[in-house]
A = this chain, B = another copy of it.
Amino acid sequence: MRGYTQDKDAYLKRLRRIEGQVRGLQRMVEEDVYCIDVLTQVSAVTRALQAVALGLLEEHLGHCVTEAVRAGGDEGRESVREAAEAISRLVKS
């Protein structure tokens, strides 16, 4: 079981709202809405996506990484390294 599966419905709800926001962006472009207002909305969608990512990451640390660390040795180290790489991609995106 993945770390986030207990909150699966909450994540799906948030991702569906983000999908709606992206469709809203398409409408804004279609209707020639002022660029700055489109940009403000893009920033809002980006923040919503990053909040999902931070939530997933916290649960990943609290479940998958925690279990791997308890299993000990290489498995724990590999899990920490993998999480660190995901954090790095997140910080750089």
Q: Which residue of B lies closest to A25 (CB)?
A: B15
Give the contacting residue for A54; candidates B33, B64, B91; CB below 8 A: B91
Chain A: interface residue count, which band?
35 or more
Asked if B15 and A87 make an inter-chain contact with CB atoms under 8 angstroms apart, the answer reads no
Contacts of A61 in B (CB 8 A): 61, 65, 80, 83-84
The answer to whether A32 and B56 touch (CB under 8 A), given A62-B80, A86-B39, is: no
Contacts of A4 in B (CB 8 A): 29, 35, 38
Question: Which residues of A are interface residues toward B (Cβ below 8 A)?
Answer: 1-5, 8, 11-12, 15-16, 18-19, 22-23, 25-26, 29-30, 32-36, 38-40, 42-47, 49-50, 52-54, 56-62, 64-66, 69-70, 76-77, 80-84, 86-93
